[in-house]
Structure 1
Amino acid sequence: MAATDRRTATLALAHALSAAERGLPVIPLSPTKLPALPSPHRNAPGPPVPCRGECGLPGHGVHDATADPAAVRALFALAPWATGYGVACGRPPHRLIGVDLDTSPAVLQRLAAERGFTIPDTFTVLTPSGGRHLWLTGPPDVVVPNSAGRLAPGIDIRGAGGYLVGPGSVTARGAYRPAPGTAALAPAPCPPALLRLLTPPAPPRTPRPTRTPRGGRALVHFVLAARQGQRNARLFWAACRAYENGIGDALADTLTDAAVRTGLTAREARATIASAARLTAPRAAGGRRAR
């Protein structure tokens, strides 16, 4: 191994140990940003073995991640070619959530303005490609999945089962380093409004074997066609029309199911429908008195 390679590997281990001292589970990474240790099952005959480290051998990617200094040293000793380290997300005690911005930060800022949350000051890592990773923390009772472009184009999320390339890592494209002014910051708690966007919607309930009231089918389709940013407004409009036509209560559950399928939570959908019922109630009562 060349002297430069040895120095890079030594620095990678040092940075990984520093992260482990702060309770962050780490694994060694190769210059391609992939886990450095190959799977112990790679040459096994037959289909791939669904093992996440239960066999007791290293080489299971993020499932090898540990904050124990001795175990970290052992992993790096098995991978002397490692030039960086990954930090496992979703693991206690920090339960990291990584917001991977491959696009301008303005995209996240616009989303924050639309959704009513503030992007907190938090530890941030600059990537060799010009992107940045925002490090946030999540609550213990919420599992944030990995996603690519689900939040917005150019924004990927690193959650449970994923990892972030740690600062100080060197890859084939360059080095990862803390963003100026953030090195002394701890990962900030994820804003609740953003956390709701990162968690998958509840699975739709099994449809009841009831008939959709006449005129209700078109309103349900109107809600199902909602795009991001339109969901609540479309649901409110459809619920108002339903109550004005006397089918609001009969259609409420179906509209709730449709809204959940578009990405709203059931609680948000029910609150919007209740608002529509309150708004239209005086008008409906007045109409009945006029007749």
Structure 2
Amino acid sequence: MATTDRRTATLALAHALSAAEHGLPVIPLSANKLPALRSPHRDESPSSDCRGACGRPGHGVHDATTDPAAVRALFAAAPWATGYGIACGRAPHHLIGIDLDVDTTGRTDSVAALQHLALQHLFTLPPSVTVLTPSGGRHIWLSGPPGVAVPNSAGRLAPGIDIRGAGGYLVGPGSVTAHGTYRLVPGTGNLPPAPCPSALLHLLTPPARPRRQDDHPDRGRGLIQFVLAADEGQRNTRLFWAACRAYEHGFGDALADALTRAAVSTGLPDHEARATIASAARLTTRRAVGGRDRLG
């Protein structure tokens, strides 16, 4: 590796460790802004739904961590990394990224569009961390409330405005890409991510699923107790089994947060618990669809 490349990789690790120290989960990125580590399941057929439960690196944003030793291990496995990504939607900041793109044709103005939304919906963006992108755009960092999952979107809020939420990531300041370097707007680096205004948060989140008449808080209590009783070697297996049963009986979404809390209380990391529940949801959905196809 050339001296310049080594220096870039060293700086990327230093920036990532600094971000992790401030509670921001990070992963190494290549110069194309994609996760630097390839999936360990890339040669498997059929493709795996694993999101890190196997314990090997290469699961993209699901590898993101604030643990310094784990950050160093990820970068050691990807010495070609020139930048780092910051996972959105994760505790403690529950980061939301407002990505204001630059349209070189001049047909759209993302900054003006955001200002129009602010006037229309009566909110003001507070001072917050802001990152300049190599193209001239900017990323505004906001924090969301716990328990609210903001979905990723591109242009849904307004033309030229992309949203990075749960399951997404932002390129961290100091990262070097094929198109240039991401830099903090002067004066914003020492600011914490500002709370997302409630009116804007309302625009970013999908409407709540209507509560079904049979959604009763007591439903699933036995499944929660089953997860709580898990020993160290059983935590993931018990959680997956319980989540599958909940989704099969139609109240998986309603029980997901409670199952997550139960799993976390046994020592399972929050992101791993949510990934396991998501896998159970996908599996039971495929089974249901397959069953309908056979019956038809």
Establish whether TM, by shorter chain, passes 0.5.
yes
The one of 145, 157, 161 aligned to 1:155: 161
How far off is 1:205 after superposition? 8.2
2:176 corresponds to 1:177: no
Match of 2:12 in 1: 12
How far off is 1:105 after superposition? 1.5
Worse-superposed segment, 61-70 or 96-105: 96-105
2-side partners of 1:94 and 1:202: how far apart?
22
1-side partners of 2:113 and 2:70: how far apart?
40
8 Å CA contact retained: 1:109, 1:119: no
How far off is 1:106 after superposition? 1.8
2-side partners of 1:205 and 1:70: how far apart?
43
1-side partners of 2:73 and 2:62: how far apart?
15
2-side partners of 1:89 and 1:5: how far apart?
28
The aligned runs of 1:1-291 (5 Å cut-off) are: 1-44=1-44, 46-103=45-102, 104-203=110-209
Normalising by structure 2, report the TM-score.
Answer: 0.68
Q: Alignment partner of 1:53: what SS?
A: coil
Q: Alignment partner of 2:4: what SS?
A: helix
4+ residue segments displaced more than 2 Å: 202-206
Aligned CA RMSD, in angstroms, stands at 1.2
Q: Quote the sequence identity (%).
A: 78
2-side partners of 1:181 and 1:58: how far apart?
35
1-side partners of 2:147 and 2:90: how far apart?
12
Worse-superposed segment, 177-186 or 69-78: 177-186
How far off is 1:204 after superposition? 6.5
How far off is 1:182 after superposition? 1.2
Q: Alignment partner of 2:162: what SS?
A: strand
Instruction: Summarize deviations over 1:119-148 as a string: whole Å, max 9, x none.
Output: 111000000011100000000021111111
Instruction: Summarize deviations over 1:193-249 as a string: whole Å, max 9, x none.
Output: 00000001234689xxxxxxxxxxxxxxxxxxxxxxxxxxxxxxxxxxxxxxxxxxx
How far off is 1:181 after superposition? 2.2
Instruction: Summarize deviations over 1:158-183 as a string: whole Å, max 9, x none.
Output: 00000000000000000000012212
Match of 1:248 in 2: none
Count of paired positions: 205
Instruction: Summarize deviations over 1:248-268 as a string: whole Å, max 9, x none.
Output: xxxxxxxxxxxxxxxxxxxxx
For 2:43, give the aligned amino acid: N
2-side partners of 1:202 and 1:14: how far apart?
40
How far off is 1:107 after superposition? 1.4
For 2:30, give the aligned amino acid: S
For 1:33, give the aligned amino acid: K
Match of 1:231 in 2: none
Q: Alignment partner of 1:7: what SS?
A: helix
Q: Alignment partner of 1:87: what SS?
A: strand
Query: Unpaired runs of 5+ in structure 1?
Result: 207-291
Instruction: Summarize deviations over 1:91-119 as a string: whole Å, max 9, x none.
Output: 00110000000044221111100110001
